[in-house]
Structure 1
């Protein structure tokens, strides 16, 4: 015959041993990040019958034809997509909460209400030095609160820009690593253990990159991947062994822009998209805060210019500077508050100019403007929280689906250990039987 029991049994022991090795590898890496379950790919080995002996039974056992990764490209792509959306939402939500804290804890609204209350008390006795001092102190507190809010917003923006720069650096490192893996994959044999390890590393890096920015991938038959940032029409980031350079630039308003080798890209997913989105809202909030501060300052200064101070002199501007960050007091002497109409005698108790100021502040919506700003931020935080929770559920479901398909189940592996062990022992027993038959044939006289 073209084959014999001994060679068949020997091939069985080799195949069973390889299967046991792979099972042990799966068990050892059950908790390894990015590891995809392996299985041995077996194929039958058969030989042709002899030329002059067509009736021979031609069997030659089994061989290990390769190592298979239990990976699903569709599920992996879904994990990258949902993870990218969740990373964007997480970054955006965290920044919005920081923005809310910056405005709320600064106490701008309370300071405006306090300033208006001090003006109301002063109108009851406009010549009282203590009430004038309290009004100036209220104005000082309000200016300080605007300064604090502006500084806090700037800190939020600085943090977002710092994190974005760190993520850009991380993305460039991942791009270089993907280029190196592409080169190794092109040189590695198909269905080998080394290729499986490289593919695990490739997929893990793609998942990490998708958490930074949305990626579009195109896989070649040898396992190499071409990566674009910013969707399927975005700039090529990795192709073959070459990787491009991702960069970030800050605009005049504090927002950020990205480019790949000088080509502008606009991520729609990942933490970079969340940072860019959040910085746009921080800039919008700062603009509204500046407008509120400038509006109050202009209203007060206009009223001052139309009134007379306690000594009868023309009223002078109370506030100087531009925006919330630059708002400050021009004087701290309460007697300079122009509570009386222009041309009034010194120590006039006519508070009609002060009444006009209070009316102008109310009409201009000083306090209501601060309250509306807080309400808008809180509403956006609430909306983003709902979106983030929904995206987290979707991402978790996608991750669990991939884990069930590609992850290591220790119960299954324990069963495989027993199955392949029995196969190994059975093949060994077959080899023993073949040896006994051979000895018997030799001992025939």
Structure 2
């Protein structure tokens, strides 16, 4: 049969267990607003009085009380893995949509001050010249409009290059963050394994590691695998970034392109530092690599913009060289590169010929020589200017090329925004499901708080009752009749 004093131990174990429950509940309440915190739950089980049952070693005692077997971390591993994947996808689409928004801001279409409107102003200027080929004012106005067109192309090219440089600098920053987060996970792996082997709880350490893992998934599209000893292996693509306590570094290969002009001769290469193999990045860095690639979005837009500039220069210069100015000059180009040695005209280097800006009478407007040099007839008409104005409606001219660029950009931008919105909705659903299971609910915690409080008070009452019984037994038994 059970010992007279066994009830004291039963009540005492209950006090310990209920107090542990109060402690864990208090921890949950304290961290209700802590990002990445996972609620915890005390797991209790009854202690059996017959620890080693046998024929001659049994007892009629009810039990030895209660013990706390563990403090569970209420986390769903499957939802965690899903969360890493969806957050990586969201970061990828957010970065792409943001990049397209910035590119659209470069062009600012449609607008009265954007490049399309300025091109139209220039063609209208040529039309005005056709009506008054001998007047200087329409030519001066047209040249100013042409300067505005060239400047708009220059500014757009510079802004695209600035976006490339900004994205490239961001990639370097994110590489450092990835390597730092990987080191943090390896360090936390070591601490968690040691704590687990010592029989200690490592729930808060696991929460910290989960936050670092979520960061890695967003940055580089990392995935994770939990190991039996409590450690975590982290992968980028199929390559291992963290293996228990060891990490590998990634880096942007030295000498990689720093600006758009470096492409396509020099590329941006994200590689593993130890093997030199390419990193199959996802997340934010995956989207950045697409932007920075030699066949990437920024390079493609820049190439199309250069095509607009070269088409404009080719079409206008071809007609301008064949025409005559009021002063009889001919064979002049209207658009030239900033540096005469440049072989091609691009959006970055296009400008209006200063010979025309210095003397507007050299602007070619006539199909014949107004001075009649070498001929008996003087010809001053607006034929060339009229042909210039008709370039606005050319199906293969600069306007059509630019409109195609803006149209393609708009379609790609809208597609990226829709995909971003859909992906963010999916990610929010996964986060909501994860928070429902692992997040702290204050109403539930208040209920647990009252439960453990009443349990503690009841155990205290049991202890007081047993103490009173033992006092009666020890101090007052045998005093009858004295």
1:72 to 73, 76, 97: 76
Shift of 1:337: 1.8
Q: Which residue of 1 aligns with 2:330?
A: 314
Shift of 1:283: 1.5
2:362 corresponds to 1:362? no
- Could you tell me how far apart the structure 2 residues matched to 1:358 and 1:196 are? 74
Shift of 1:256: 4.0
Task: Rate the CA distance shift 1:32–1:23 in 2: closer, same or farther, 3 A.
Answer: same
The aligned length equals: 441
- Could you tell me how far apart the structure 2 residues matched to 1:281 and 1:348 are? 50
Shift of 1:365: 2.7
Single out whichever of 182-191 and 15-24 deviates more from structure 2.
182-191
Q: Which runs of 5+ in 2 are unaligned?
A: 338-344, 373-377
Q: Which residue of 1 aligns with 2:278?
A: 264
- Could you tell me how far apart the structure 1 residues matched to 2:41 and 2:225 are? 25
2:284 corresponds to 1:253? no
Shift of 1:414: 0.4
Shift of 1:190: 5.6
- Could you tell me how far apart the structure 1 residues matched to 2:384 and 2:449 are? 92
Q: Contact 1:76 / 1:402 at 8 angstroms: preserved in 2? A: yes
1:146 to 144, 153, 175: 153
Shift of 1:57: 2.8
Q: Which residue of 1 aligns with 2:96?
A: 92
**Which structure 2 residues correspond to residues 6-17 of structure 1 after superposition, within 5 A?**
6-17=8-19
**Which structure 2 residues correspond to residues 51-200 of structure 1 after superposition, within 5 A?**
52=56, 54-57=58-61, 59-104=63-108, 107-189=114-196, 194-200=201-207
2:29 to 3, 27, 30: 27
2:464 corresponds to 1:429? no
Shift of 1:384: 1.9
2:289 corresponds to 1:276? yes
Q: Which residue of 2 aligns with 1:417?
A: 449
- Could you tell me how far apart the structure 2 residues matched to 1:402 and 1:190 are? 28
- Could you tell me how far apart the structure 1 residues matched to 2:250 and 2:447 are? 48
Q: Contact 2:324 / 2:366 at 8 angstroms: preserved in 1? A: yes
SS in 2 for 1:205: helix
- Could you tell me how far apart the structure 2 residues matched to 1:420 and 1:74 are? 31
SS in 1 for 2:429: helix
Task: Rate the CA distance shift 1:193–1:200 in 2: closer, same or farther, 3 A.
Answer: farther
2:44 to 36, 42, 45: 42
CA RMSD for the aligned pairs? 2.2
- Could you tell me how far apart the structure 2 residues matched to 1:394 and 1:191 are? 40
- Deviation by residue 1:139-192 (Cα, 9 ceiling, x = unmatched): 211111111111121222222222222222211111110111111122112696
- Could you tell me how far apart the structure 2 residues matched to 1:370 and 1:140 are? 18
Q: Contact 2:327 / 2:370 at 8 angstroms: preserved in 1? A: no
- Deviation by residue 1:346-395 (Cα, 9 ceiling, x = unmatched): 57323333334444553233223223322322222222222221112111
Q: Contact 2:11 / 2:65 at 8 angstroms: preserved in 1? A: yes
SS in 1 for 2:240: strand
Shift of 1:193: 5.8
Single out whichever of 354-363 and 17-26 deviates more from structure 2.
354-363
Single out whichever of 213-222 and 345-354 deviates more from structure 2.
345-354
SS in 1 for 2:278: strand
Single out whichever of 351-360 and 157-166 deviates more from structure 2.
351-360
SS in 2 for 1:264: coil
- Deviation by residue 1:81-110 (Cα, 9 ceiling, x = unmatched): 111111111111111111001012772111
- Could you tell me how far apart the structure 1 residues matched to 2:180 and 2:365 are? 65
Shift of 1:211: 1.2
- Could you tell me how far apart the structure 2 residues matched to 1:199 and 1:25 are? 15
1:374 to 406, 414, 420: 406
- Could you tell me how far apart the structure 2 residues matched to 1:287 and 1:297 are? 15
TM-score, normalised on structure 1?
Answer: 0.93
Single out whichever of 252-261 and 10-19 deviates more from structure 2.
252-261
- Deviation by residue 1:34-54 (Cα, 9 ceiling, x = unmatched): 110011122222233687453
Shift of 1:416: 0.5
TM-score, normalised on structure 2?
Answer: 0.86
- Could you tell me how far apart the structure 2 residues matched to 1:54 and 1:138 are? 105
Shift of 1:293: 0.3
Per residue, is there more helix in 1 or in 2?
1
Q: Which residue of 1 aligns with 2:353?
A: 330
- Could you tell me how far apart the structure 2 residues matched to 1:34 and 1:193 are? 21
SS in 1 for 2:34: coil
Q: Contact 1:2 / 1:50 at 8 angstroms: preserved in 2? A: no
Single out whichever of 209-218 and 242-251 deviates more from structure 2.
242-251
Task: Rate the CA distance shift 1:25–1:433 in 2: closer, same or farther, 3 A.
Answer: same
- Deviation by residue 1:300-332 (Cα, 9 ceiling, x = unmatched): 122222222322233211111221010012221
Single out whichever of 290-299 and 325-334 deviates more from structure 2.
325-334
Q: Which runs of 5+ in 1 are unaligned?
A: none
SS in 2 for 1:263: coil
